[in-house]
């Protein structure tokens, strides 16, 4: 993803929009007041759990990648992270105390089965205890099967470049849905296959660190095939739950009104959005993708697209920023960062309208689009604890404006059922290690002290107000 840092406003900047005095309260006519609109927070296993060598857990590609010098900022790894594996009970109590209705988490594939596919009971029991506690607290559970932590033994056999990995993923989905049936409200097969394919196999920024466009398109095909193969197992084993997938999407805008730049913006969205959504909802890859990457068509076998495009109960959408682009003068686009715009600690432009525009566009483009959940939205800032408090002003404003954009999309007719803040806690931010803080709860990685940020306090206040209004 883009990482331009020309203008960065942090939580303490006097130029940051909004102020701590502003209540986190939507307008009276906002859809967010509806009690059936799910408000939750999200995490991912490798980013928070730690305990990478405990209770039979195998190595993942992220254990290997983060242990490779130069791959992760400051040499950070997920070996300890937020120590959630040992502190999960207190973390769930904290989550419930804030009043969130939903929690999106992921399962670590290397923790629950060995290389021969034999269940690892200690790993399975961890998730059973976790999900049982969440249900006891009345929290709706969204469980992602694959949030990037592929077992290393599968990568050693080719990873997502090997078609067999899709079938091993289906076996994993079958096991998990048999073991955890009744504790999961919604299953997501994959988180952000674009990132797994492009960042992992296309440009090498993420594990396993390969860089070839042809690798990216083939890896993406096998990821989506794995998704399609997993859905029938999920339906058979846990029929009461919802089944879906989570896609990250990006808004691309043109740097000028020229035909070349307008086409560049279209191609950006083909690569970031249609590459994933067209196979799922149209049963085909967008041909414009291969204008960008000539000769990179994946090997697709008979029946694959029917498997991939089977109906879903929901679509998860992750959105963070927009990218301004221009024609590269050949067959693609190049980023042209805008000056003077608000950016986050990641260098990503804050652009709430992009979320609304994408959602309304998807509604128009995909006739069979299922209900949508915003499964990730949030921002990183350089948060610090001062006198026991964290005043994350920019995050408060960011979330308010993006929730308003979601409400606008709902009023435009998009069927959006809920919104998850990324993230519950500061965590291991992949190739950026622990420097970038996305949480509404601050983590001191030395002491593992949890401190609620002002954003968490204001969200909890709104949830309490909404609950009181509904009763």
Q: For residue 127, give both structure tokens.
A: 């998730």
Confirm whether residue 147 is marked as ligand binding: yes
Q: Are 342 and 7 in contact (CB under 8 A)?
A: yes
Q: How many angstroms separate the CA atoms of 258 and 380, rounded?
A: 34
CA nearest neighbour of 323 among 392, 273, 394, 365: 273
Confirm whether residue 320 is marked as ligand binding: yes
213-237 and 275-282 helices, crossing angle to 10°: 40
What would the DSSP string read from start to end of 203-232?
SSSSTT----HHHHHHHHHHHHHHHHHHHH
Could you tell me the CA-to-CA distances from 438 to 189, 381, 427, 429 in Å, in that order? 23, 7, 7, 8
Q: How many angstroms separate the CA atoms of 459 and 441, rounded?
A: 12
For the annotated catalytic residues, the residue numbers are 192, 376
Confirm whether residue 427 is marked as ligand binding: no
Confirm whether residue 221 is marked as ligand binding: no
Strands 242-248 and 314-318: parallel
Q: What does the buried/exposed string (b/e) look like for 128-166 if buried means 16 or more CB atoms within 10 Å of the residue's CB? A: eebbebbeeeebbbbbbbbbbbbbbebbeeebbbbbebb
Confirm whether residue 430 is marked as ligand binding: yes
Confirm whether residue 422 is marked as ligand binding: yes
Q: Are 418 and 374 in contact (CB under 8 A)?
A: yes
Whether the ω angle into residue 208 lies within 30 degrees of 0, i.e. cis, is: yes
Annotated binding site: 47, 147, 191, 320, 422, 429-430
Annotated binding site for substrate: 47, 147, 191, 320, 422, 429-430
């Amino acid at each position: 993803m883009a990482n331009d840092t020309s203008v960065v406003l942090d939580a303490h900047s006097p130029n940051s929009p909004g102020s701590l005095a502003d209540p986190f309260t939507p307008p009276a006519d906002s859809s967010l007041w509806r009690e059936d609109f799910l408000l939750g927070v999200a995490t991912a296993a490798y980013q928070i759990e730690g305990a990478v060598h405990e209770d039979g857990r195998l190595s993942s590609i992220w254990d290997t990648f983060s242990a490779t010098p130069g791959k992760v900022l400051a040499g950070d790894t997920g070996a300890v992270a937020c120590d959630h594996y040992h502190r999960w009970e207190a973390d769930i109590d904290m989550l419930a105390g804030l009043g969130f209705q939903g929690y999106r988490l992921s399962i670590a594939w290397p923790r629950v089965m060995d290389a021969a596919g034999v269940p690892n009971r200690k790993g399975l029991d961890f998730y059973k205890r976790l999900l049982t506690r969440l249900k006891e607290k009345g929290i709706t559970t969204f469980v992602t099967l694959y949030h990037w932590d592929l077992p290393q033994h599968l990568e050693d056999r080719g990873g997502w470049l090997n078609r067999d990995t899709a079938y091993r993923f289906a076996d994993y989905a079958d096991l998990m849905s048999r073991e955890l049936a009744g504790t999961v409200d919604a299953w997501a097969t994959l988180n952000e296959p674009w990132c797994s394919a492009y960042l992992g196999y296309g440009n090498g920024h993420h594990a396993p660190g390969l860089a070839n466009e042809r690798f990216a398109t083939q890896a993406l095909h096998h990821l989506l095939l794995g998704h399609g193969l997993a859905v029938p197992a999920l339906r058979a084993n846990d029929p009461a739950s919802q089944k879906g997938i989570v896609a990250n999407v990006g808004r691309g805008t043109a740097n000028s009104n020229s035909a070349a730049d307008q086409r560049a913006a279209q191609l950006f969205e083909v690569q970031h959005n249609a590459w994933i959504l067209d196979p799922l909802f149209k049963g085909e890859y967008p041909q414009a993708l291969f204008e960008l990457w000539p000769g990179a068509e994946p090997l697709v076998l008979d029946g694959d697209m029917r498997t991939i495009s089977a109906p879903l109960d929901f679509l998860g959408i992750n959105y963070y920023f927009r990218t301004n682009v221009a024609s590269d003068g050949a067959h693609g686009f190049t980023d042209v960062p805008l000056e003077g715009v608000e950016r986050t600690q990641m260098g990503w432009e804050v652009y709430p309208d992009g979320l609304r525009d994408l959602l309304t566009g998807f509604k128009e483009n995909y006739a069979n689009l299922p209900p949508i959940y915003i499964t990730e939205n949030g921002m990183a800032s350089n948060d610090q604890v001062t006198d026991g408090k964290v005043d994350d002003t920019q995050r408060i404003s960011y979330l308010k404006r993006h929730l308003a954009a979601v409400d606008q999309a709902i009023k435009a007719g998009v069927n959006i059922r809920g919104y998850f803040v990324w993230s519950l806690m500061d965590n291991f931010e992949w190739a950026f290690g622990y420097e970038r803080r996305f949480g509404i709860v601050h983590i001191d990685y030395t002491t593992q002290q949890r401190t609620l940020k002002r954003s968490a306090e204001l969200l909890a206040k709104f949830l309490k107000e909404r609950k009181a209004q509904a009763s």
